[in-house]
A and B are shown apart, each in its own frame.
Chain A
Amino acid sequence: MTTFATFAAALLMLGAPGKVESIKATDLDGKPVEIQTAGKITTVIFISTQCPISNDYNERMKALYNEFNPRGVQFVFLNSNSTESSADAAEHARKHGFPFRVLKDPNNVEADRFAAEFTPHVYVIGKNSEIIYRGAIDDSRPADKVTKTYLKDVLNAAIEGKPLPVTETKAFGCTIKRVKKST
């Protein structure tokens, strides 16, 4: 058991799996949703209703969705926080006028699979279902100090079939509040 726990911890340290063929979540009414990734560029963003960092990115996430969804990029906004209910997520989405739907990740199954640690935490999945980028949306919490638009640049490159400018970045964020699991 200890060995398994150590192995699981090591996997978490290594990060997300290379290939993600589908994402399973629930809509904010509790209905199961499964999103296939084959043949599409998919952007997964772990978000929060309460985290000030995540909230500082609300407008930027809306802009990214409005720019790239019409260009064929599929977006999956996941709320994995056990401390935030579906009702909280629905109210938050309404209050901020999100043009995209937010999904719940019950028992943080997808957060664990992706090894997502904080909000906002971004993963871009290529058309072959391989994760091609993981990290931050950009390099600054205050929007007026952004100098590097990581996610935007990655999506542009992926759409155009060009080499990716970056595949992994780091940024500060609120820790995802996971459910307590018995060992």
Chain B
Amino acid sequence: MKYFFPILLVLGAGLAASADLKPIDESGYARFVASSKGKVLVVNFWATWCSPCRKEMPELVALAAKYRARGLEFATVAIDEESDRKAVAEFLDKTKVPPPTFIKNFQNDEKFIGLVDSRWSGGLPFTVVYDRSGRKAHVFPGEVNLKELEAVILKLL
């Protein structure tokens, strides 16, 4: 019994990520950002085919856990096709990425990219930080500089 509970916890953490993988489109993204008002929100755009994305994810997850209690919300949007859902879920489980986790469900990539940030070229990874009022405070094109991200988060919390 002593070992059963931790095993359940591990399994539970894994199930949580993939079970909560939700499709997101342009309007859904705007609604999600609006619903996160009151928290500092970090959104990371990644893909299973993007090696820098996979590399930085564990550090982002750790940073998110560090500040969650102080009001930080960390969300991920997988820029994979629906046919890659299984691979996305497996990575999220393996990396213990907490929900909210999303997978792209929009027809027009360009429209979505423009909605998220006009400066975004479409290259991945891409990370956006919103302040507690839902305003975009900072963007990180490419791999995140963790120290810089942490400084931005601390300033906003």
Contacts and interface: CB of A to CB of B under 8 A. Distances in A.
Q: Do A and B come from one complex?
A: yes
A40 interface: no
Given A118-B122, A118-B123, A141-B81, A172 B114 contact: no
Interface string A138-174: 0111100101000000000000000000000111111
A147 B81 CA distance: 16
Given A117-B121, A117-B123, A141-B81, A171 B49 contact: no
A141 B108 CA distance: 11
Contacts, number: 56
Interface of B: 47, 49-50, 52, 79, 81, 107-110, 113-114, 119-125, 141-142
Contacts of B52: 175
A20 interface: no
Contacts of B142: 175
A139 B109 contact: yes
Given A139-B108, A173-B122, A51 B114 contact: no
- The SS class assigned to the B binding surface is loop
Contacts of B81: 141-142
Nearest to B104: A172
Contacts of A173: 122-124
A90 interface: no
Interface string A106-137: 00000000000110000000000000000010
Given A117-B123, A118-B123, A175 B109 contact: no
A102 to B, nearest CB: 20
A145 B119 CA distance: 26
Nearest to A55: B49
Contacts of A171: 109-110, 113, 122
A39 to B, nearest CB: 30
Given A13-B119, A118-B122, A118-B123, A170 B110 contact: yes
Given A53-B49, A172-B47, A172-B123, 7 more contacts: A117-B121, A117-B123, A139-B110, A169-B110, A172-B109, A174-B50, A175-B123
